[in-house]
Amino acid sequence: MTTPTMRAIRLHEHGGPDVLRYEQVPLPQPGPGEALVRVHAVGVNPPDWYLRDGMSNLPEHVRPKFSLPVIPGTDLSGVVEAVAADVDDFAVGDEVFGLLRFPGFDGSTYAQYVAAPASDLARKPAGIDHIHAAGAPMAGLTAWQFLIELGHDHPSPFQAAQHRPVPLDAHTTVLINGAAGGVGHLALQLAKWKGAQVIAVASGAHETFLRELGADEFIDYTKHHPEDLAHDLDLVLDAVGGPHSRRFLRTLKRGGSHFPVFFGEFDDEEATQLGVTVTGTQVRSNGTQLAELAHLLDTGTVRVAIDSTFTLADAKAAHKRAAQGHLRGKIVLTVA
């Protein structure tokens, strides 16, 4: 009997975008608690290229284990083709989207079909297409779990303390660094939904875009150091993060919080002297939270901006676009 197959992107070795191979692979079968999803679009995220290059940017002790060959990808939007006998929440024909099995690296969404944990899925908002839905899960849940509700009690590999979102309202001023990117532009809209005043930091080319999303103030980092202009902030969400993130500590008022999305290098003594808190988390799959976000997407309260689209077969070009930086929203792969 012939084994059913599909097309997918796989890694057989680590390296640059050219190691992404478009090839024939076995069709997955849904196990207990899973749905087989026919993929229509795939969101491209930083963990995809971290996996591709072998996690060289992460400390060795927190690198997840995986074996090659592997199908990358965690975000998808598609249609349910089959469900396991124990799945009651979804039926064949349902349009769904989700962040699969994260923080693991076996989401395997760069493919025509995926066996997806039903608990990681939510119904796709009827008001948006698969491309926009595929751009939402990881970036949207990252913004949600940092700003709105953590929704889990798993410890972060980057800190001992449990992350606690800061209540946002009209009396809260939030600075978002990297505001035009995937996490940044969704975090801006969620903060505005809660009524906060938002200062967006990005290059000048994105000012009009970010003001249209609701930014109250804008700082062009190519012309000014945002840490020299912003003061007395309640919260900084640094969607760029990394070793230079500590420069934002002095923009906070006493009692303020700094949330680096990508872990940085901070001096605990400096934070204590300034009377501020530095905390972060690692985004996790959560179909329930995604369903809440779906409502905001469906009503247009939050919208996903698409930087560019590529076909699944052209995933190499998508990764090359990501490496260029200066993204406005999300890169998405379309799947035939």
Question: Which parts of the chain are beta strand (E)?
Answer: 5-11, 20-26, 34-44, 75-83, 95-99, 113-117, 121-123, 173-177, 197-202, 217-220, 233-238, 252-260, 277-278, 306-311, 330-334
- Helical H segments across 32-181, by residue range: 46-52, 130-134, 137-147
pLDDT tens for each residue of 91-148: 999 999 999 999 999 999 999 999 999 999 999 999 999 999 999 999 999 999 999 9
pLDDT attached to residue 56: 81
pLDDT attached to residue 315: 98
pLDDT attached to residue 242: 86
Question: What would the DSSP string read from start to end of 242-303?
Answer: STTGGGGGGGEEEEEEEEESS-----HHHHHHHT-EE--------HHHHHHHHHHHHHTSS-
In this structure, what DSSP letter does residue 27 have? Answer: P
Identify any residues that bridge with 297 across adjacent strands, giving them in sequence order. Answer: none
The 3-state DSSP class for residue 197 equals strand
Cβ(6)–Cβ(27) below 8 Å? yes
Query: Residue type at 35?
Result: A
Which portions of the chain are predicted below pLDDT 70? Answer: 62
pLDDT attached to residue 264: 79
In angstroms, the CA 311 to CA 309 distance is 7
pTM (whole model) above 0.85: yes
Query: Residue type at 242?
Result: G
pLDDT attached to residue 189: 98
Q: Name 256's Cβ contacts closer than 8 Å, sequence gap at least 6.
A: 233, 234, 235, 236, 276, 277
